[in-house]
Amino acid sequence: MTSPLVPGVPIRAEATVRALHGEGGVNHRLVLRVPGWPGFLAGQFVMLSPGPLGAAPRTDPLLPRPMAVYRERASDGDPEIEILFKRHGRGTALLADCRPGARVGLVGPLGRGFPAVAAPRALLVAGGTGIASVYELAARLLRRDASGVTVLLGARSAQDLMGEGDFAALGVRLEIATEDGSRGTRGLVTDLLEAALAQAAPAHVYACGPTAMMRRCAEIASARGAGCSVSLENPMACGFGVCLGCAAPLRSGAFALVCRDGPVFDASAVDWERMP
Amino acid sequence: MSEVAAVDARVELAGIPLRSPVLTASGTFGYGREFAPFLDLRRIGGFVAKSLTLEPRRGNPPPRIAEAPSGMLNAISLENVGVDAFVREKLPALPDGVVVIASIFETEIDRYAEVAKRLSGARLVAGLEVNASCPHVKSGGIEFGQNPAVLAGLVRAVRRATSLPLLVKLSPNVTDIGEMARVCEAEGADGLSLINSVQALEVDVERRRPVLSNVLGGLSGPAIRPIALRMVWQARRAVKLPICGMGGITSGDDAVKFLLCGATAVQVGTQNYLDPSAAGAVADGIESYCARHGFRRVADLIGALQTPGR
């Protein structure tokens, strides 16, 4: 059922900021030019470190930030990638303050990405910054089978919603839920998932977002007998399996590394009780 | 870079000839193979592998890391594959010509000695680094490296167990690093590695909880570099043993500071997370420094710190 994945071989590169757009509220779209970019699998991520501030070496905040690769862009020069992110901490503030031409250290693409599961219907559920992880998955699933792909996006409010126009442009079946009802259905994106799974056709669920959202997706999918893949977002220092900081508890009792063994896991393998 | 090529970067650390004084630090470099896409391990002096125990060891529950000003805390609890799997599976994955220093760690002295025995004669293993920063069960949880008598017993036992060059990695969480250095020298160690991470605590103020599940962690990164330089300098004055210096090295100039304070070689640690090719850049940076300042040999920098009135 699951086809084997061949991860994109990661590189370490000095990327250059081509553009940085505010997209309402704390949402930002970063376009990076990446010499030697090898291409990526849907669900893979990069580690980004904004470079020195002018002539001053920058050591604070110290660690690079894991960011899903949203999509690649055609370019007349070096390949370009897009990152969608929210400014909500010191690392993302540094990224949000970058100007075109700024240098950003990049390691990636990393992780194993989403498995290609054969199922009549694919239900992609994403909330918050998790939306950035599923755009490429939607695009690739659509190319394979245009009829069976539905994307469910959730946000607190219309202003928090990222990427809606891009998903609409893909031509994917799109449903939206906001907690305050300012866009789409009022409520949680997991309510949309319950309704979608009430239909008879078997489905596979792909979820990325806050831990509570993914856990609820796993429960709903399990109750309906649907498979569920989740993309976890634990903090990490390196992204390639050496800091061991991103351990996620499995029901087997072992820990998996989100960066190396994931970030995508079979939801039934995750020990949600012990997730921090 | 012809002027760089003219610099002789070779040093000898505790009887181990190194093509460059730059190694990478245990716990930040996995088992070496993880860095294959980013760095030719034969371009640097060598690497210190993740600390090995007799049995495979599972780490702490998350959260295991926390960010701090110009640094990070970790409390992984020495998760590793165990010494036998390292010899059987990890070493064969490395190409010839890589210099491996195996870090060893245990909770009892006899078990340290057994790990050392199992590594003796293993392919590519050029030396051992004894991680003395583990809490010692029989001493009520104090680190081996915090009690001179306990540290002496540990070094003595491992020294008897192996003829490999023996580095002892000292804890910075002590009052007098010179005393610990003298104990290692008296018990037959071949060199010292310092410093390990600095015991620390970070708080999630919103939730009024420690960030780490383990409560306490080890602080590393540029935040600890001046502490590390101070301890290397103090240890240098206390003993004749060669010293491998580390703590927050990000560049060639940072590494040169350790050499000037008396280190024979250095280890790059936390910076490997930010830039997995960092050790190569540090090695190049040291040679550039030498070229810039007219040093033909990197070894001439060792202990060359000019202190006022001495």
B162 has a chain A CB within 8 A of its CB: no
Q: Identify the pLDDT of residue A4.
A: 32
Mutation for testing the A interface, residue in B214, B268, B274 having most A CBs under 10 Å: B274
Interface list for B 22-41 with A (CB within 8 A) = 28-30, 34-35, 37-38
**B109 touches B134 (CB < 8 A):** no
Structure tokens at B44: 């640097």
- Report the CATH number of the A121-231 domain: 3.40.50.80
> For domain A11-110, is the CATH number 2.40.30.10?
yes
Q: Identify the pLDDT of residue A6.
A: 43
Share of chain B above pLDDT 70, in %: 97
pLDDT digits (tens, 9 = 90+) for B15-69: 999 999 999 999 999 999 999 999 999 999 999 999 999 999 999 999 999 999 9
| Location of each CATH 3.40.50.80 domain in chain A | 121-231
Give the minimum alpha-carbon distance from B84 to chain A in angstroms, rounded to a whole number. 19
pLDDT digits (tens, 9 = 90+) for A133-169: 999 999 999 988 777 899 999 999 999 999 999 999 9
pLDDT digits (tens, 9 = 90+) for B198-239: 999 999 999 999 999 999 999 999 999 999 999 999 999 999
Q: Considering chain B, what is the average pLDDT of its residues?
A: 95
| Location of each CATH 2.40.30.10 domain in chain A | 11-110
- Report the CATH number of the B2-58+78-199+220-301 domain: 3.20.20.70
CA gap A262, B205 in Å, rounded = 30
B64 to A64: CB separation less than 8 angstroms, yes or no: no
Please compute the mean of the pLDDT values over residues B241-253 and round it to a whole number.
Answer: 98
Structure tokens at B132: 């003395």
CA distances from A165 to A45, A135, A137, A153 (A): 22, 11, 16, 12
Q: Identify the pLDDT of residue A52.
A: 75
Q: Identify the pLDDT of residue B5.
A: 57
* Chain A residue with Cα closest to B79: A244
CA gap B63, A249 in Å, rounded = 11
- List chain B domain ranges: 2-58+78-199+220-301
CA gap A236, A134 in Å, rounded = 20
Q: Identify the pLDDT of residue A77.
A: 86
B92 has a chain A CB within 8 A of its CB: no
**B258 touches B228 (CB < 8 A):** yes
CA gap A98, A93 in Å, rounded = 9
Residue A204 region, left (φ>0) first, then alpha (ψ -120 to 50), else beta? beta
ipTM: 0.93
CA gap A150, B131 in Å, rounded = 53
B76 to A244: CB separation less than 8 angstroms, yes or no: yes
Mean pLDDT, consecutive 10-residue stretches, chain A (276 aa), reads 50 95 93 94 95 78 96 88 94 94 95 88 95 96 86 95 94 96 97 91 94 97 96 95 97 96 97 93
Q: Identify the pLDDT of residue A3.
A: 36
Q: Identify the pLDDT of residue A255.
A: 96
Interface list for B 216-245 with A (CB within 8 A) = 221-222
Q: How many CB atoms lie within 10 A of CB B19?
A: 16
Judging contacts by C-beta atoms under 8 Å, the chain B residues touching residue A241 are 30, 34
Q: Is the pTM of this model over 0.80?
A: yes
Give the minimum alpha-carbon distance from A201 to chain B in angstroms, rounded to a whole number. 38
pLDDT digits (tens, 9 = 90+) for A181-216: 999 999 999 999 999 999 878 899 999 999 999 999
**B266 touches B246 (CB < 8 A):** yes
pLDDT digits (tens, 9 = 90+) for B174-197: 999 999 999 999 999 999 999 999
B134 has catalytic annotation = yes
Judged against a pLDDT cut of 70, whether residue B287 lies above it is answered with yes
Q: Identify the pLDDT of residue B180.
A: 97
**A229 touches A115 (CB < 8 A):** yes
Q: Identify the pLDDT of residue B310.
A: 55
Place of tokens 């590393």: B220
B274 to A247: CB separation less than 8 angstroms, yes or no: no
A243 to B273: CB separation less than 8 angstroms, yes or no: yes
Place of tokens 């009024």: B208
Q: Pairing between strand A71-73 and A80-86?
A: antiparallel
